[in-house]
Amino acid sequence: MTVSASAAVTPDFLARIPKADIHLHLDGSLRVETLIELAKAAKVSLPSETAEGLQTLVFKEKYADLPDYLQGFGLTCAVLQTPEALERVAYELAQDCIAENVPYIEVRFAPQQHTRPGQNIADVLRAVDRGLARAAAERAASPEVVSGAALPFRYGIIACAMRFFLPAFSPSYAELFDALPSASLPEIHGLASLELARACARLAADEGLPVVALDLAGAENGFPAVEHQAAYQAAAEGLLYATVHAGEAYGPESIYQAITKCHADRIGHGTWLLAADRVTSASVKDPQAYVTRLAQLVARRHITLEVCPTSNLQTLPEIPDIAHHPVLEQLEQGLPVCINTDNRLISRTTPARELGLLAAARADTAASLRPVVLEGFRTAFFSGSPAEHAAYCARAAALYDQVAAVP
Ligand SMILES: [Zn+2]
């Protein structure tokens, strides 16, 4: 079957095609009703007890700046402190994605923000895996999947190390500061990441848990990825993949570090990859040549940019609308790009909505949007065999074409 070049990208089309969401934060993607319930149970006070109130005060469509965007995470992390709560939100997230024809997701979060004495990194990751696995098992038995009309639900878990944290961020971080009173802040950040990478590598190797990659999240400006080089080395030696939030709140040199110091297989956001005017290092004599060579390397090595348009529009006021988003030029240059939500609750979005934004800006047809949608499946840190991954991607492409062929 061939894709009709003229098939229009309508909301119905976007709802029906299979989609992947591989840049998706667990703690930014709760159901608002679940947050309210969990907060009551955990005695966490919220600025409002209703979904409407929280959507007016915290989870907004527009944010003043990054700190405004980030305040919601304080609330969601506060209620996600037990294995039961983590398992529940992971299960519900999978269910919400399945309901939207998003059969493949990679869920990321920072385990060390949920650990405490008696609840270690492994406990936290196992809880999230239980929720996702339960949803996957239920979906596998559904008539749509059994008949082959829909893809089975598959997932990976990505563990986020943090570029920056303070003792107040979690009991585990506080213990680390207490135990290492002479260490510098960068040393403590790097050691926490190293411990996380080792724990993830062990879980993947010894228990077969689908912890597929290490990520680096948090304040980018002033907290360079190079401080986490040892952690990424341990992840690589543990056969984990690497992704790094980079080029979002800092320029191309942050992406350079992610690739040269952290073995990045993918880049989270990568918004400013082509922004020569954001190169700050005095040692770079020709910023334009620098970003051109960096982009060449990203394309040649197929280091996919995990672009999250709405999130960027909400936190980067220098991008006034999607028509000015650097993703348009990145795609024109042929760079590998996939489209993701970042945070379903905090950005108030879905994969279909994000693809719709891009499609409107580029006047996409089904045929021109196809490579962007399928890139999310292709570049996945798929936990099955290479043959299974290839078959899964082929099935996603066939289902896409089936939807595109129906007028
Ligand atoms: Zn992110």
In a domain, 1, yes or no: no
* CA atoms of 280 and 100, how far apart (whole Å): 42
CA 160–ligand 1 middle distance (angstroms): 9
Q: CA 405, CA 393: separation in Å to the nearest integer?
A: 18
Distance 277 CA to ligand 1 centre (A): 24
Instruction: Please tell me what DSSP assigns to residue 28.
Output: G
pLDDT digits (tens, 9 = 90+) for 356-390: 999 999 999 999 999 999 999 999 999 999 999 99
**Measured in angstroms, how far is the CA atom of residue 1 from the centroid of ligand 1?**
36
Query: Each residue of 110-135: pLDDT tens digit?
Result: 999 999 999 999 999 999 999 999 99
Can you tell me the mean pLDDT for 89-106?
Answer: 98
DSSP 267: E
Q: Is 329 a member of any domain? A: yes
Residue 217 CA to ligand 1 centre (angstroms): 7
The long-range contacts involving 245-249, CB below 8 angstroms and separated by at least 24 positions, are 245/163, 245/215, 245/216, 245/217, 245/218, 245/220, 245/269, 246/216, 246/220, 246/270, 247/271, 247/272, 247/273, 248/220, 248/272, 248/312, 248/315, 248/316, 249/66, 249/219, 249/220, 249/221, 249/315, 249/316
Cα–Cα distance measured from residue 271 to residue 318, given in angstroms and rounded to the nearest whole number: 12
Q: What is the percent of the chain where pLDDT is above 70?
A: 98
Whose CA is closest to 197, among 185, 214, 212, 179?
214
Q: What domain count does the chain have?
A: 1
Q: Quick: pLDDT tens for 385-405.
A: 999 999 999 999 999 999 999
2, part of any domain:
no
What is the distance in A from the centroid of ligand 1 to the CA of 4?
34
Is the pLDDT assigned to residue 331 strictly greater than 60?
yes
| Long-range CB pairs of 276-281, under 8 A, 24+ apart, other chains included | 276/252, 278/250, 278/251, 278/252, 279/251, 279/252, 279/253, 280/251, 280/253, 281/253
In the chain, the amino acid numbered 195 is E
Distance CA 190, CA 165 (A): 11
Neighbouring residues of the ion ligand 1, judged by CB less than 5 Å: 342
Indicate the DSSP class of residue 337: E
Residue 248 among the catalytic residues: yes
CA 72 to chain centre: 17
Residue whose pair of structure tokens reads 């006070």 in the numeric block = 45
Alpha-carbon distance of 219 to 165, in angstroms, equals 9
Mean pLDDT of 256-283: 96
- In the reported structure, the alpha carbon of residue 182 is separated from the centroid of ligand 1 by a whole-number distance in angstroms of 31
Note down the domain range covering 315: 11-405
- Rounded to the nearest angstrom, the distance between the alpha carbon of 142 and the centre of ligand 1 is 31
386 belongs to a structural domain? yes
CATH number of the domain residue 358 falls in:
3.20.20.140
Whether 5 has a pLDDT exceeding 60, the answer reads no
User: E strands within 11-85?
Assistant: 20-25
The sheet that has 241-246: what strands, in order across it?
Answer: 20-25, 104-109, 154-162, 211-217, 241-246, 266-269, 304-307, 337-339
Residue 21 has pLDDT above 90, yes or no: yes
Distance CA 113, CA 107 (A): 15
Give residue 330 CA to ligand 1 midpoint distance, Å: 19
In a domain, 115, yes or no: yes
Residue written as token pair 């986490």? 228
Span from the CA of 244 to the centroid of ligand 1 (angstroms): 9
The enclosing H or E element of 158 equals: strand 154-162
Alpha helices in 184-272 (DSSP H): 185-207, 229-237, 252-262
- Comparing 1 with 95, which gets the higher pLDDT? 95
Q: What angle do helix axes 83-99 and 32-42 make, rounded to 10 degrees?
A: 170
Whether residue 3 lies inside any domain: the answer is no
Span from the CA of 115 to the centroid of ligand 1 (angstroms): 20
For residues 191 and 8, the model is more confident at: 191
Which stretch, 171-180, 331-340, 397-406, has highest mean pLDDT?
331-340
Q: Tens digit of pLDDT for each residue in 342-351?
A: 999 999 999 9
Helix (H, G, I), strand (E, B) or coil at 185: helix
Across all residues in the chain, what is the average pLDDT? 95
Residue 5 lies in a domain: no
Interatomic CA distance for residues 181 and 354, integer angstroms: 45
Let me know if residue 6 belongs to a domain.
Answer: no
Catalytic residue among 220, 227, 248, 375: 248
